[in-house]
A and B are shown apart, each in its own frame.
Chain A
């Protein structure tokens, strides 16, 4: 696993995803493993952009709160992220949009997170597997 990717993602996961009420906790290794695969499969520049944005986010948080990143508490970090999301400056906003994208996906794609939200992909897949729509015009599909 890429150590930079691990470190940044581990630091930023709780800042972005927060602590969703009544949903499962993070599975850091599995989620970061997914992020790595997602970046490998994607546009070559995406990983680089993620690093640049993650670095800049930490820098901006420290500057805005006048404290080093390691001494900022979670609510400060989340407040900075929310402030940047609300910014009318598209560059500042891109920093958090690009950081958040893989983090949100890595968490909300999990089956154990989706089921309590009402989306049970496995059950729907089982249901769909019982059907096979044919292109036959004369007979109904099974």
Chain B
């Protein structure tokens, strides 16, 4: 059963085989798998449950304020500022993500084997898990008919230049291209956790408490024994006065790559004998280029993220895109006043595409500094090689837009916002850009902050996702991935979660 705030009339005290904190890509598959094996499972989620009919209204700001952490105002501190939105709702960030469902890049798995002592995670095993997930989540390539003119035009440009490109695989069934996946899919097409793993987990007997923030993991003799927490108003974050106390044989922390390390650091550095909790933050930062076309692009109708160009994926640059509703588009255009207004009046003829950059020498960390509210501080500095990649991908997107017939393009580099001629392109190409020149950056794929590895000195969890320090405490979410997957990570997080379910099953059955 799913317990919403209205159902909670007093303190809750219960026990279960497994308690899972967080209902996103890490937590939800575990709940379904373990409850399917007959274990009693309780899933605790700080965000509220929203409903397709009533709540997914194609209204970005409403969804920022209800389904995103801090109404979407989550920024990294450093140069440049990076907007790093996170979901806080049943289904976690998957409820408000774009639905791209890719397998991780093979060379990155090899890197995990070679540099992180993770050869236990074999390619064969992962491929089996990916195949199962793809079937379960109806993963299929975006339909070019539904994708919309922005994606079709950009791909035509890429093809003209002979670049490797195509349609993205997505976990969406019968998608009609309503263009608002990241604000909650209004038709139920997108197979986020709230419409897939969680309902199935509940059918298997999992109990879910929403609007419930875990505050502490209880331990005894070096073993996890449960958790305590309290119920919160999901909009104000204020405590309602009711508490929760759960006893469990196994506890899983799946709060995501930002809130999981924050949770552990707040608890005095639980599971942090390596000192790695909160470190090694990789975010897969993005830049975008907006184009002005002669023909209508009709944004945001279509599939917001449906096509890709991966010609430079070995260099750590992948292009994916891209349409957004007017209030988000307005933020991607630099300038103010009548200049900005004139640009916005061309919104119907504009396209937007983004590039994701695999972090190489940038530096990131989650820390617990004194702040009001329940918010970690995310530090991130974009450095040399990644700045170069940001420029390379901006130039690449600009060239593709021009090949597709753009009149002008708008880049995020100060001094080069508007490019309308080969001379402007040359100027950007030859300029020595700095991280500080980037006007707007965003990122959607934080990982690495409780990384897994083969060495307890340099990692937080084993390849099984169990922490090195605390027996029966598992960490299973984006934080456990040792590095960026090189692509959008949700499918890999789910695969690691399915794998972890197997190890927890072994542990619990041996304990019987």
- Whole-angstrom distance from the CB of A134 to the nearest CB of chain B? 8
Contact B337 A15 (CB under 8 A): yes
B73 interface neighbour in A21, A46, A114, Cβ under 8 Å = A46
Complex-state Cα separation, A20 to B337, whole angstroms: 9
Query: Which residue of chain A lies nearest to B346 when distances are taken between CB atoms in the complex?
Result: A117
Q: Is A8 an interface position by the 8 A CB rule?
A: no
Interface residues of A in 67-81 (CB under 8 A from B): 74-75, 77-78, 81
Contact B341 A20 (CB under 8 A): yes
Given contacts A22-B345, A108-B330, A109-B61, contact A43 B73 (CB under 8 A): yes
- Whole-angstrom distance from the CB of B381 to the nearest CB of chain A? 12
- Chain B residues near A109: list those with CB within 8 A: 59-61, 326-327
* A17-30 near B? 1/0 per residue, CB < 8 Å: 11111110000000
Complex-state Cα separation, A124 to B302, whole angstroms: 11
Contact A78 B338 (CB under 8 A): yes
Q: Is B9 an interface position by the 8 A CB rule?
A: no
Complex-state Cα separation, A96 to B64, whole angstroms: 22
Give the 6 A-B CB pairs with smallest separation, nearest first. A78-B337, A81-B336, A18-B341, A128-B186, A42-B71, A20-B341
Contact A43 B344 (CB under 8 A): no
How many residue pairs between the two chains, A and B, have CB atoms under 8 Å in the bound complex? 188
Residues of A near any B CB (own CB < 8 A): 14-23, 34, 37-38, 40-46, 74-75, 77-78, 81-82, 85-90, 93-94, 96-97, 100-101, 104-105, 107-109, 113-114, 117-119, 121, 124-125, 127-129, 131-135, 140-141
- Chain B residues near A21: list those with CB within 8 A: 341-342, 345
Contact A119 B61 (CB under 8 A): no
- Whole-angstrom distance from the CB of B329 to the nearest CB of chain A? 8
Extra pairs beyond A17-B340, A86-B414, A97-B440 (17, CB < 8 Å): A14-B337, A34-B61, A41-B70, A43-B73, A43-B375, A44-B375, A88-B434, A88-B437, A105-B327, A109-B326, A109-B327, A117-B326, A124-B301, A128-B56, A133-B174, A134-B188, A141-B173
Contact B326 A90 (CB under 8 A): no
A108 interface neighbour in B301, B326, B373, Cβ under 8 Å = B326
Contact B65 A41 (CB under 8 A): yes
B336 interface neighbour in A85, A133, A134, A141, Cβ under 8 Å = A85
Contact B439 A93 (CB under 8 A): yes
* B451-468 near A? 1/0 per residue, CB < 8 Å: 000000000000000000
- Whole-angstrom distance from the CB of A80 to the nearest CB of chain B? 9
In this complex, the interface size class of chain B, counting residues with CB under 8 Å from chain A, is 35 or more
Complex-state Cα separation, A23 to B57, whole angstroms: 23
Given contacts A43-B373, A100-B336, contact A90 B79 (CB under 8 A): yes
Given contacts A16-B337, A45-B371, contact A129 B186 (CB under 8 A): yes
- Chain A residues near B298: list those with CB within 8 A: 118
Complex-state Cα separation, A120 to B191, whole angstroms: 24
Given contacts A41-B235, A104-B331, A135-B195, contact A124 B338 (CB under 8 A): no
- Chain B residues near A23: list those with CB within 8 A: 341, 345
- Chain A residues near B347: list those with CB within 8 A: 117-118
Complex-state Cα separation, A121 to B339, whole angstroms: 26
- Whole-angstrom distance from the CB of B164 to the nearest CB of chain A? 31
Query: Which residue of chain B lies nearest to A14 when distances are taken between CB atoms in the complex?
Result: B337
Complex-state Cα separation, A18 to B342, whole angstroms: 9
Complex-state Cα separation, A101 to B71, whole angstroms: 13
- Chain B residues near A135: list those with CB within 8 A: 138, 173, 191, 195-196
- Chain B residues near A140: list those with CB within 8 A: 174
Interface residues of B in 334-386 (CB under 8 A from A): 334-342, 344-345, 347-348, 371-373, 375
Contact B65 A18 (CB under 8 A): no
Contact A96 B187 (CB under 8 A): no
Could you list 25 examples of A-B contacts with CB < 8 Å?
A: A18-B341, A19-B341, A21-B345, A38-B65, A41-B64, A41-B70, A41-B235, A42-B71, A44-B371, A81-B336, A82-B339, A86-B415, A88-B414, A88-B434, A93-B439, A97-B440, A108-B326, A108-B327, A114-B325, A117-B344, A118-B301, A119-B301, A132-B187, A132-B188, A133-B173
Contact B189 A133 (CB under 8 A): yes
Query: Which residue of chain A lies nearest to B325 when distances are taken between CB atoms in the complex?
Result: A119
Complex-state Cα separation, A16 to B337, whole angstroms: 4
Query: Which residue of chain A lies nearest to B235 when distances are taken between CB atoms in the complex?
Result: A41
- Chain A residues near B91: list those with CB within 8 A: none
Q: Is B154 an interface position by the 8 A CB rule?
A: no
Query: Which residue of chain B lies nearest to A74 when distances are taken between CB atoms in the complex?
Result: B337
Complex-state Cα separation, A40 to B417, whole angstroms: 33
Given contacts A20-B345, A121-B59, contact A129 B74 (CB under 8 A): no
- Whole-angstrom distance from the CB of B323 to the nearest CB of chain A? 10
Query: Which residue of chain A lies nearest to B373 when distances are taken between CB atoms in the complex?
Result: A44
Q: Is B81 an interface position by the 8 A CB rule?
A: yes
Complex-state Cα separation, A92 to B180, whole angstroms: 33
- Chain B residues near A42: list those with CB within 8 A: 65, 70-73
A124 interface neighbour in B58, B339, B371, Cβ under 8 Å = B58
- Whole-angstrom distance from the CB of A29 to the nearest CB of chain B? 17
- Chain B residues near A113: list those with CB within 8 A: 326
Complex-state Cα separation, A101 to B340, whole angstroms: 13
Complex-state Cα separation, A22 to B344, whole angstroms: 11
* B32-48 near A? 1/0 per residue, CB < 8 Å: 00000000000000000
- Chain A residues near B440: list those with CB within 8 A: 97
- Chain B residues near A43: list those with CB within 8 A: 70-71, 73-75, 373, 375
- Chain A residues near B196: list those with CB within 8 A: 135
- Whole-angstrom distance from the CB of B476 to the nearest CB of chain A? 24
B348 interface neighbour in A81, A101, A104, A118, Cβ under 8 Å = A118
Complex-state Cα separation, A8 to B92, whole angstroms: 35
- Chain A residues near B81: list those with CB within 8 A: 90, 94
